[in-house]
Amino acid sequence: MKPNKSQSGQLHFIEEPTSIPFSIKRLFWLDQITEGAKRGIHAHREEQQALVCLSGRVSAILENLKGEQFSFELDSPSKALFIPPMVWTEFTFGPDAVLLGISDRQFCEQDYIRDRTEFEAFQNKIRPDSEAIYD
């Protein structure tokens, strides 16, 4: 997402479908989160999201089903982070951060995996080094 700059400021925009790889069903945002607080700490079974830090800074640590970890700094509204389903997320908020979430689904509690042990069970099913039996 490239901002449109002028002397009076910047305009940031998302145009569906070219900027976001899914149809948008829900927008949500987090603000007034205590500096250093962690949010996320879950995965989604089916939901896809794109996240944009509108102000401040949010550090993201993601882990996929293969156990690979990735870290990202969201520190500009011109950056967006795509999160596919079945990725464990953990976000650490900087001072005065505002994080916008863009989702392909309406809220559904059953889509959440909030228990780390449950997520690790999914990981063990697909990891080649696991002792799980493959179908």
Domain boundaries of the chain, sorted by first residue:
20-105
pLDDT at 19 (0 to 100): 76
pLDDT for position 58: 98
| Overall pTM > 0.75 | yes
Q: pLDDT tier at 135 (50, 70, 90 boundaries)?
A: very low
Identify the weakest region by mean pLDDT among 58-62, 98-102, 130-134: 130-134
Task: Report pLDDT for 11.
Answer: 85
For the chain, the average pLDDT equals 90
Q: Of these residues, 12, 22, 24, 42, which one is catalytic? A: 42
- DSSP H or E stretch at residue 107: none
For 123, phi then psi, to 5°, come to -60, -45
The pLDDT score that the predictor gives to residue 16 is 61
Task: Judge whether residue 131 has pLDDT over 80.
Answer: no
Residue 99 — very low, low, confident or very high, per pLDDT cuts 50/70/90? very high
Task: Give the pLDDT confidence of 20-73 residue by residue, as tens digits.
Answer: 889 999 999 999 999 999 999 999 999 999 999 999 999 999 999 999 999 999
Pick the CATH number of 20-105 from 3.20.20.70, 3.40.50.2000, 2.60.120.10, 2.30.30.30: 2.60.120.10
Res 87: pLDDT = 98
88: three-class secondary structure by DSSP? strand
Residue 44 appears among annotated catalytic residues: no
Interior/surface letters 49-84, b for 16+ CB within 10 angstroms, e for the rest: bbbbbeebbbbbebbebeeeeeeeebebbeebbebe
